[in-house]
Amino acid sequence: MLFSMVALVSSCDKDDDSEFRLGSQDFVNRASSSNNFEIAAGNLALTKGLSAEVKAYGQHMVQDHTGVGAEMMALANRKNWTVPTTLMPKEQASLDSLNSASGAAFDAMFAKKMVVSHQEAIDLFEMASRADGVPDPELRDFAASKLPALRAHLQEATALDAQTP
């Protein structure tokens, strides 16, 4: 009986190791869209933002996420993955709504969208960094390495949202 339970647990471990939550290209697509949204929204904050804090956070997003995009591109090029330059529909709709806002309404919407987008990015990168996240170990490591910065961005966005009327 004990042997059969050990065999069952071992076979379940093997099944968990061979099944992944996301394909590598799917993660690259989703992460790139998220990253490109942060850059585009940051650029909007630089031109449409009312408060100095919104503009500063926007600049921070452009700078940090441009660097991450370059790292993603280098990894994708080595692995023959395609890095999309267009936003997925969800991020495009979010950017379109930001683009239609102005003044204090823009600042408030920007802060809220930065909180939500960073929460979603953390969820995506946490999932990808798990042993059963994506098939490619370098991509898992890449995802894991970006989590501290994403968490810091979320804390900063939450503080910005709290101070933006």
Task: Map out the domains of the chain as residue ranges.
Answer: 22-163
Quickly count: other Cβ atoms within 10 Å of residue 27's Cβ: 27
Question: Model pTM?
Answer: 0.87
Is the pLDDT at 13 greater than 60, yes or no?
Answer: no
Q: Is 115 helix (H, G, I), strand (E, B) or coil?
A: helix
Confidence grade of residue 19 (pLDDT, cut at 50, 70, 90): confident
- Looking at 1.20.1260.10, 3.90.79.10, 1.20.1560.10, 1.10.10.10, the CATH number of the domain 22-163 comes to 1.20.1260.10
pLDDT per residue over 42-71, tens digit each? 999 999 999 999 999 999 999 999 999 999
* Block residue for tokens 């939500």: 116
Confidence grade of residue 159 (pLDDT, cut at 50, 70, 90): very high
Torsion of CA 126, 131, 132, 133, to 10 degrees: 30
To the nearest whole percent, how much of the chain has pLDDT over 70? 89
Is the pLDDT at 35 greater than 80, yes or no?
Answer: yes
Per-residue model confidence (pLDDT) at position 43: 98
Is the pLDDT at 7 greater than 60, yes or no?
Answer: no
Greater model confidence, 156 or 12: 156
- Mean pLDDT of all residues in the chain? 90
What's the average model confidence in pLDDT over 20-28? 94
Residue 61's identity, in one-letter code, is: M
Q: Which long-range contacts (CB under 8 A, 24 or more apart) does 98-106 make?
A: 98/41, 98/44, 99/44, 99/48, 101/48, 102/48, 103/50, 104/50, 104/165, 106/44, 106/45, 106/48, 106/49, 106/50, 106/54
Q: Are the C-beta atoms of 144 and 155 separated by less than 8 Å?
A: no
Per-residue model confidence (pLDDT) at position 18: 53
